[in-house]
Amino acid sequence: MSVRTRIAPSPTGQDLHIGNAYTALINYVVAKKAGGQFIIRIEDTDRTRLVEGSEQRILASLGWLGIPHQEGPDIGGQYAPYRQSDRLESYRKYAENLIAKGHAYYCFCTAERLEEMRKKQEADHKPPMYDGLCKTIDPKDAKSRVEKGERHVIRMNVPDDGVTAFTDLIRGEVSFENALIDDQVIIKSDNFPTYHLGVVIDDHEMKISHIIRGEEWISSTPKHILLYNFFGWEIPKIAHVSVLRNPDRSKLSKRKNPVWVSDYKAKGYLPEAILNYLASLAWSYPDGRDVFSVGEMTDVFEISQLKTSAPIFDVEKLRWMNGEYIRMMSDEDLMQQLYAFDSHIPHDDVKMKQILPLVKERMKTLAEFWSLARFFFEKPDVFERLGNIRLSAIAREALSESDWTHEAMEKRVREASDVAHEKARDVFMELRLAVTGKTVGPPLLESLMILGKEETLKRLTG
């Protein structure tokens, strides 16, 4: 059987969540390694939470990251459509089929009754579960009430005893007592399937061989296993990857870190660095190297090697990784990336190729280029601190008589500082401040050589 993996994002957020990017990467690598297919299916059955444009942004972010899919709502495929709202007809039929076999039933309980039931359960310290009232209705009566148009849902009929178990490829044997599994709604009153029914039918129809998803879905899995068994379908291999955490171990959330892939793009992170960093969160390259490509990962990756401990997503480590990738790029590539990234940057290839070797070591994101290198293009208008006129006059005088080489400038400034009984360090600092507006930045004398004598002296004149 060919390996077919998928992600099934719901278009309910601004964009692709970085946690979903992580799951997508693992799914992609597993399929790619086996020469199989990686599929995207959009799960948009929760109509109340839909966010306009989310699907397009999810797909765009996956494309930007460089995780290609072989089938999906944008490119179609053998098992199209790949958007659940376009597949509605089949879900109802499958659910009716379960009713006919006694594995599901119509439920007519009103919201008020369910609320009352829940309150009572809470007061009695019982788990909040449907009490099965509508299970006792004669199926023929139920059917005729439905035909008369009475508002209803369809629930799965979970056995009262026994256990439902599965083997997780990462976590091993997992089992749940049926008595604690709710008679889950599978078709809602708006005739849309719930996640549980939709996911099982679609994974089956799309011949998904491996379901690899976040651990937050683990408690849903027994319901799915029951549904597979009700339908008499083969159960795919299942793995739950650990959910990404903040460094303080709380669940990754908007309040602590950006969570959308587009946020990282906007901040000047490179897709290769993001993927490398995500890959390294719960997995180590066998020879211990930190920097590796998705291709290199694919050659050696085994899903069982994923650690179950909480992977910590630390933006500082991602920045470090991003800096490594910036340094691995050729100046030409980096220049083109910077042009595309930041419209402030003048397209001056000659100057850019002089500047890049000076700033490349110091940049961790593309966004940092402009703040490091702006002074090469524009006279600073904001200064980190007030200038010292006496020190800048020493620098100006020394440089106005200097040849424009590194050695000559250095010698002149040192000599002039000695004569004036000032520390050369202070004069250099003043020079840097006057020319760049900042107290730290790329190597000073090399920068002055690019800037030129005339511009440097102009900036020292104030």
Q: Per rule CB under 6 A, is residue 9 in the interface with ligand GLU?
A: yes
- Kindly state the smallest distance separating residue 49's Cβ from ligand GLU, in Å: 10
Nearer to ligand GLU, 199 or 201 (CB): 199
Using the contact rule CB under 6 A, the part of the chain among 3-11, 71-79, 326-334, 341-349 near ligand GLU is 3-11
- Is 254 part of the annotated catalytic residue set? yes
Token pair listed for 278: 């995500």
Residues from 36 through 65 that contact ligand GLU (CB under 6 A) = 43
Query: Shortest gap between Cβ of 23 and ligand GLU (angstroms)?
Result: 7
CB nearer ligand GLU, residue 200 or residue 274: 200
Q: Residues 186, 155: contact at Cβ < 8 Å?
A: yes
- Asked if residue 433 lies in contact with residue 410, where contact means CB atoms within 8 angstroms, the answer is no
**Residue 222 in contact with ligand GLU, rule: CB under 6 A:** no
228 lies in the binding site for ligand GLU (CB under 6 A): no
Which stretches does DSSP call E strand in 157-267?
163-168, 172-177, 185-187, 210-214, 237-241
Residue range at the interface with ligand GLU (CB under 6 A); choices 2-10, 155-163, 358-366, 449-457: 2-10
Interacting residue with ligand GLU among 5, 10, 61, 242 (CB under 6 A): 10
Q: How far from the centroid of its chain's Cα atoms is residue 172's Cα?
A: 26
- Binding status of residue 87 toward ligand GLU by CB under 6 A: no
How far is residue 244's CA from residue 343's CA, in Å, rounded to a whole number?
33
Q: Which of 213, 223, 240, 364 binds ligand GLU (CB under 6 A)?
A: 213
Joined tokens for residue 309: 């401990």
Segment interacting with ligand GLU (CB under 6 A) among 7-15, 60-68, 248-256, 434-442? 7-15
List strand residue ranges (DSSP E) for 185-275, in order.
Answer: 185-187, 210-214, 237-241
DSSP 3-state assignment of 376?
Answer: helix
DSSP 20-61: HHHHHHHHHHHHHHTT-EEEE-B----GGG--TTHHHHHHHH
Strands (E), 53-182: 104-107, 153-156, 163-168, 172-177
Q: Which of 30, 142, 185, 199 binds ligand GLU (CB under 6 A)?
A: 199
Residue 23 gets the label, from left (phi > 0), alpha (psi -120 to 50) or beta, of alpha
Q: How far is the CB of 336 from ligand GLU (least distance, A)?
A: 35
| Residues 212, 169: Cα–Cα separation, whole Å | 9
Taken in order 142, 144, 150, 155, the sign of the CA dihedral is: positive
Beta strands in 116-241 (DSSP E): 153-156, 163-168, 172-177, 185-187, 210-214, 237-241
199/429 with CB nearer ligand GLU: 199
CB of 302 to ligand GLU, least distance (A): 21
Question: Does the protein bind ligand GLU through residue 217 (CB under 6 A)?
Answer: yes
Identify whether 127 is preceded by a cis peptide bond (ω within 30 of 0). Answer: no
Minimum CB distance to ligand GLU smaller for 239 or for 363: 239
Smallest separation (angstroms) from ligand GLU to the CB of 247: 24
User: Which lies closer to ligand GLU via its Cβ, residue 195 or residue 264?
Assistant: 195
Residue of 119, 120, 254, 423 marked catalytic? 254
CB-nearer residue toward ligand GLU: 214 or 258: 214
Smallest distance, Å, CB 370 to ligand GLU? 36
Task: Please identify, among the stretches 5-13, 55-63, 312-320, 354-362, the one whose residues bind ligand GLU according to the rule CB under 6 A.
Answer: 5-13
* Cα separations in angstroms, 423 against 188, 272, 416, 417, 427: 78, 45, 10, 6, 7
Out of 4, 8, 364, 396, which residue is the one contacting ligand GLU (CB under 6 A)? 8
Structure tokens, 389: 């006129």
How many residues line the site for ligand GLU (CB under 6 A)?
8
Which residues participate in catalysis according to the annotation? 254
Binding site for ligand GLU (CB under 6 A): 8-10, 43, 195, 199, 213, 217
